Amino acid sequence: MGKMFFVTGTDTEVGKTLITASLIRAMRKRGMEAGGYKPLQSGVDEWSASDAGILTRISGLEGQEVLTYSFLEAIAPAFAINKHEAFIDKMEIINEIDKLRGKFDILFVEGAGGWLVPYFPGQLVADWASELKAPVIVVGRAALGTINHTLLTVEAIQNRQLEVAAIILSGATPSNQELAEMNKQYIKEHLSNIPVFLVPWVEGEDQWEKIQSLSEQPEIQLAIQYLCC
């Protein structure tokens, strides 16, 4: 069985998928078998541009090889499931994870939105991650407010007796570099036993160019060295 990490965010749209895809690409460039999986996603109108589509492609898989439940509305997955009265087979998802762990040396399982987002009916992202018992990677913004969001998220994860493997502050939105460095340093000092990485903002509209550029950033390279230990 390959090593597994669960990827969560301090909020929605903080760059979870870009960061996860960048880690995967950087690892695969080094000859490692790394892959990503997003079991549930919402706000999807085109598979190839969706989070799950991006992770599937960067992992060298075909869409039909991976079980993913997708919903059009940009709402919490549990809300979408209830709205459409959809049946989600959690055991099938767990079997899919086991299959992918057998294929990859390192598997990243991405949640939806933040840590306390309604995921399955009656279950939060945090509940699902607790079942998986994987170390958690926290992705947050590099901008103003991230200290509060990040520390709250880490505290909530640790309250469930789960390991926080790393914190990656993402330049998913443009932010002041000096402030971003200050945020990183404060979080690093406050959580001295957790590595903190700061990934800069990357210009451009093309997702694949951004992933390529991010995967070559020094902080992503440092992160994969740490995570692969």
Residue 200, pLDDT above cutoff 60:
yes
- The one catalytic residue in 3, 29, 38, 188 is 38
User: Binning pLDDT at 50, 70 and 90, where does residue 178 land?
Assistant: confident
Report DSSP state, residue 162.
-
d(CA 38, CA 100): 12
Residue 207 near residue 49, CB atoms below 8 Å = yes
How many domains does the chain fold into? 1
Q: Is 112 assigned a ligand-binding role in the annotation?
A: yes
The whole-number pLDDT of residue 48 equals 79
Percent of residues in the chain assigned helix, strand, coil, to nearest 5: 45, 20, 35
d(CA 226, CA 10): 21
Residue 189, pLDDT above cutoff 70:
yes
Q: Is 209 assigned a ligand-binding role in the annotation?
A: no
Q: Residue 202 corresponds to which tokens in the numbers above?
A: 């990357």
User: Binning pLDDT at 50, 70 and 90, where does residue 40 land?
Assistant: very high
Q: Is 200 assigned a ligand-binding role in the annotation?
A: yes
Report DSSP state, residue 47.
G
User: Binning pLDDT at 50, 70 and 90, where does residue 173 land?
Assistant: low
Residues paired with 114 in a beta bridge: 9
Q: Is 122 assigned a ligand-binding role in the annotation?
A: no
Q: Report the CATH number at residue 65.
A: 3.40.50.300
Tokens 């607790």 label which residue? 130
The whole-number pLDDT of residue 74 equals 94
Q: Which domain, by its residues, includes 160?
A: 3-228
Residue 172, pLDDT above cutoff 60:
no
Residue 63, pLDDT above cutoff 90:
no
Q: Residue 48 corresponds to which tokens in the numbers above?
A: 């190839």
Residue 184 near residue 155, CB atoms below 8 Å = no
The stretch 174-198 carries a mean pLDDT of 91
**Residue 184 is a catalytic residue:** no
Residue 229, pLDDT above cutoff 90:
no
Q: Is 72 assigned a ligand-binding role in the annotation?
A: no
CB atoms within 10 A of CB 53: 21
Question: Each residue of 91-139: pLDDT tens digit?
Answer: 999 999 999 999 999 999 999 999 999 999 999 999 999 999 999 999 9
The stretch 50-73 carries a mean pLDDT of 88
d(CA 13, CA 17): 9
Residues 6+ apart with CB under 8 A from 66: 37, 52, 56, 96, 100
The whole-number pLDDT of residue 64 equals 66
Mean pLDDT (the chain) is 93
